[in-house]
């Protein structure tokens, strides 16, 4: 197997030992694990503000069945998939982190990193023939081709950033700040990403506030953005204004999402009622009931509440002895 095949993401190694454990004893569980294994990222990337490392994937709740079982006529239900994901997590095969935007899960296949790909790519070590080596040397030796080198090349500069000493004496970056630094460097091509991120953190910014500043000033050059994060007097916002802007946008999005859900419930109930040629007032009653059950009773209209009361009154009189 050539190193090109390893780096182009067209295959993923699977160890035979998987069939000997509890996952292999359950065909449905094994099938889901294999799907996750071949669908995870093989190169790092950023998407919707999330850094997805090799061996990870974002699984959106609303597209769970479509993404995992695209060709299945009767795919497992979302609840069944979620239950199996929890089983896999319990066995230590995957790790799950709940995310928003989209609402779903950041899944890490715990044996899906570069180390496993490198170790699984060796062919018959007893014969001394390693993948990519022209003289039987170990994978990665100077006499052979480093398996997975092309995949890891994308992360070389980030690793250099991790090793560099910042110009300040503050604590090193970690967690969300480290992800933000990687985003500034890899996506925005900001050469002073480390110092800019540390300056923003020490100035009272939050990672969300920095991302909001970037989101609302997408045409600004990386150099100017770096100056803003270093307290440039010409910056449009400070950390507190950015945080407020972020909270307000999230609040508006929550309201919009609520309105969309209410409208969707009404549309579905009305479409079903009209298809079955149900009287209009009964459709209003059904809308009132559906919205109430979904927690939107305060959003029902006066006509919908009156229709439901009429429906309940008529049905109670029919049920009376």
On whether both 191 and 249 belong to a single domain, the answer is: no
250 domain-assigned: yes
97 shares its domain with 110 = yes
Does 125 reside within a domain?
Answer: no
Average pLDDT over the chain reads 77
Could you tell me the pLDDT band of residue 10, with boundaries at 50, 70 and 90? low
Residue 149 lies in a domain: no
Give the structural domain span for 175.
156-237
Candidate from 75-79, 135-139, 317-321 with smallest mean pLDDT = 135-139
pLDDT band at 56 (very low <50, low <70, confident <90, very high): confident
Which DSSP symbol is given to 244? H
Are 24 and 49 in a shared domain?
yes
- d(CA 207, CA 239) in angstroms, rounded, equals 10
Residue 133 lies in a domain: no
pLDDT score of 160: 55
313 domain-assigned: yes
Contacts of 210 (CB under 8 A, 6+ apart): 180, 197, 200, 229, 242
Same domain, 23 and 110: yes
Confirm whether 257 is domain-assigned: yes
| SS3 state of residue 314 | helix
User: Do 26 and 91 sit in the same domain of this protein?
Assistant: yes
Please determine, for residue 81, whether its predicted confidence score (pLDDT) is greater than 80.
yes
Residue from 53, 57, 35, 37 nearest 45 by CA:
53
Does some domain include residue 122? no
SS (H, E, C) 70-128: CCCCCCCCHHHHHHHHHHHHHCCCEEEEEECCCCEEEEEECCCCHHHHHHHCCCCHHHC
Same domain (yes/no): 293, 245:
yes
Could you tell me if 259 and 205 lie in one domain? no
Residues 6+ apart with CB under 8 A from 286: 269, 273, 278
Q: Same domain, yes or no, for 58 and 161? A: no
**What pLDDT, on a 0 to 100 scale, did the predictor assign at position 151?**
42
Backbone angles phi, psi at 265, to 5 degrees: -60, -45
- Overall number of domains in the chain: 3
pLDDT in tens, 190-225: 888 888 999 999 889 999 999 999 999 888 899 999
Between residues 78 and 16, which one has the greater pLDDT?
Answer: 78
pLDDT at position 5 is 38
311 and 288 belong to one structural domain: yes
244-296 confidence digits (pLDDT tens): 999 999 999 999 999 999 999 999 999 999 999 999 999 999 999 999 999 99
141 belongs to a structural domain: no
Please report the pLDDT score of residue 62 as a whole number: 83
């Amino acid at each position: 197997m050539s190193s090109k095949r390893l780096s182009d993401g067209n295959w993923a190694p699977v160890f035979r030992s998987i069939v000997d454990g509890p996952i292999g004893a359950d065909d449905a569980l094994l099938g889901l694990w294999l799907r996750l294994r071949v669908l995870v990222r093989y190169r790092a990337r950023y998407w919707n503000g999330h850094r997805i490392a090799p061996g990870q994937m974002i699984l959106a709740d609303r597209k769970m069945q479509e993404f995992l079982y695209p060709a299945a006529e009767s795919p497992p239900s979302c609840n069944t998939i979620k239950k199996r994901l929890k089983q896999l997590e319990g066995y230590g095969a995957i790790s799950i982190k709940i995310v928003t935007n989209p609402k779903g899960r950041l899944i890490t296949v715990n044996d899906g990193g570069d180390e496993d790909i490198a170790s699984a790519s060796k062919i018959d070590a007893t014969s001394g023939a390693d993948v990519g080596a022209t003289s039987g040397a170990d994978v990665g030796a100077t006499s052979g081709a480093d398996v997975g080198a092309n995949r890891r090349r994308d992360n070389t500069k980030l690793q250099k950033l991790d090793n560099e000493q910042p110009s300040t004496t503050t604590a090193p970056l970690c967690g969300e700040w480290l992800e933000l630094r990687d985003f500034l460097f890899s996506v925005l091509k900001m050469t002073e990403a480390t110092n800019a991120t540390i300056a923003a953190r020490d100035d009272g910014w939050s990672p969300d506030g920095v991302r909001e500043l970037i989101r609302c000033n997408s045409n600004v050059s990386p150099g100017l953005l770096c100056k803003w994060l270093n307290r440039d007097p010409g910056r449009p916002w400070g950390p507190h204004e950015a945080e407020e802007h972020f909270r307000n946008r999230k609040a508006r999005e929550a309201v919009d999402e609520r309105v969309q859900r209410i409208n969707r419930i009404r549309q579905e109930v009305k479409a079903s009622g009209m298809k079955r040629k149900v009287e209009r007032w009964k459709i209003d009653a059904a809308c009132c009931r559906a919205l109430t059950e979904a927690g939107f009773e305060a959003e029902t209209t006066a006509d919908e509440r009156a229709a439901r009361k009429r429906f309940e009154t008529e049905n109670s009189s029919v049920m009376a002895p």
